[in-house]
Amino acid sequence: MEFFQLHHPLNATVLCDRKGCEQVADYLEVDDSGHEYRLCAIHTDSKTHSSRLPTRKPSPDLPFRSRPADPFNLNRTASTLSGLLAFMLACIFALLSSTVLAEPIPVQHKEGIAHAFLVLRTREGRTLAAGELIQDVSGDQISSEIVFHFKDGSVHDEVAVFSQEHTFRLISDHLVQKGPSFPHPVELTIDAKKNEVTVRSTENGKEKDATDHIDLPEDTVNGMIFVLLTNISSSVPETKVSMVAPTSKPRLVNLAISPKGERLFSFAGTTRKAFDYDLKVEIGGVAGVVAPLVGKQPPDTHIWVSGGAAPTVLRFEGALYEGGPIWRIDSATVKLSNENLNAKSIGGKNKRK
């Protein structure tokens, strides 16, 4: 196997060859048979060979996936000195802003035992999975699980354990995503007390298992998003918290939560108001400046929350994994059968008498 840096055509930005991936291809792999693969950093080991990467263009005879060239493509030299200067200033600003410390979310509404039935759909309304939220209490600790079982056999299962004495503090989180609906199966385990993050992932048919030490801030919110959104005020312009991105190489990112107005919802002929919250992932540092320029900025997530004395999440709309489609999570409509399942057995006993 040979590894090369990839040059993009002047009028196009080359995309990764992996099915379903829309990331920019930065590397060219050539196997022993001479087959060429244009791959992004997620789908290649080329970056581990960066110290000896030669430069090479892909064969012009081979087709490739692309989109129109970015106005400012980092894979090519900046066309003007002013453009390069603007990029350097943006990097400096990002490095400075990434040092701002966020604070844990104060407890406004304590969590308790809960069990809700959920449904996961596409934006067009096609049902993908049935789900449940199962929450239990042990002393001042909450165990909260959200699990989805997909029609194609895939599973998304996340269990977060957190405390709620004065502020919400993550203790541990365990996320599993596997099956056809998840192109990159992953198992993420966070031990907040030990500042350890373990990731087990599968890339190109190979399993990877790694444990990293990450200094987790007190406001790390993995597995707690729904809880936090019922404990922040819609009058606060922006709330920032931290999150470990569940990727094959986990990194700490910021999550900026800001209210975007209100929307009406109705039930049983009654109309109420819900707050619309926008959740934006901020990668931070130089990588955060690069991400939107090369098409790697994660899309925003929207969550709608009813107000009042007991706020509750009404809808989630966002991606469940990096590069994934936008899906919706709603409360499921429950249909109760009119048939008593014990009626037949009771009737049979009476007949035998």
Q: Domain check: are 53 and 123 in the same one?
A: no
Does residue 104 belong to any structural domain of this protein? Answer: no
Max mean pLDDT among 35-44, 68-77, 105-114, 243-252 falls in 105-114
Domain carrying residue 40: 2-76
**The predicted structure's pLDDT at residue 82:** 46
83 in a structural domain: no
For residues 258 and 205, state if they share a domain: yes
What pLDDT does residue 243 have?
A: 94
CA distance 168 to 107: 6
Total domains, the chain: 2
Residue 1's pLDDT is 74
Same domain, 174 and 261: yes
Domain presence at residue 84? no
Same domain, 61 and 125: no
338: in domain? no
Name the percent of the chain lying above pLDDT 70.
79
- pTM of this structure: 0.67
Q: Domain check: are 125 and 23 in the same one?
A: no
146 and 294 inside one domain: yes
Report if residue 86 sits inside a domain: no
Mean pLDDT of 84-103: 49
87 within some domain: no
> So what's the pLDDT on residue 49?
63
**Residues 156 and 205 placed together within one structural domain of the fold:** yes
Asked if residue 126 and residue 9 are part of one domain, the reply reads no
Would you call 152 helix, strand, or coil by DSSP? Answer: coil
- pLDDT range class, residue 10, cuts 50, 70, 90: low
Identify whether 308 is part of a domain: yes
CA–CA distance, 53 with 91 (Å, rounded to integer)? 25
The mean per-residue pLDDT over the stretch 52-68 comes to 70
Looking at the structure, tell me whether residues 245 and 122 fall in a common domain.
yes
Let me know whether 53 and 167 are in one domain.
Answer: no
Query: Which carries the bigger pLDDT value, residue 130 or residue 43?
Result: 130
- As separate numbers, helices (DSSP H) first and strands (DSSP E) second, the chain gives 4, 20
The stretch 158-187 carries a mean pLDDT of 95
- Determine contact, residues 242/170, Cβ cutoff 8 Å: no
- Give the Cβ contact number of residue 331 at 10 Å: 14
Between these two residues, 199 and 2, which has the higher pLDDT value? Answer: 199
Q: Which of 20-29, 32-41, 46-55 has the lowest mean pLDDT?
A: 46-55
Best CA proximity match to 47, nearest among 85, 77, 5, 87: 5
186 within 8 A of 247, measured Cβ to Cβ: yes
- Is residue 88 in some structural domain? no
CA atoms within a 13 Å half-sphere pointing along the CA-CB vector of 310: 2
Residue 176 above 50 pLDDT?
A: yes
Residues 182 and 314 in one domain: yes
Asked if 120 and 72 sit in the same domain, the reply is: no
Using 50, 70 and 90 to split pLDDT, how confident is the model at 289?
very low
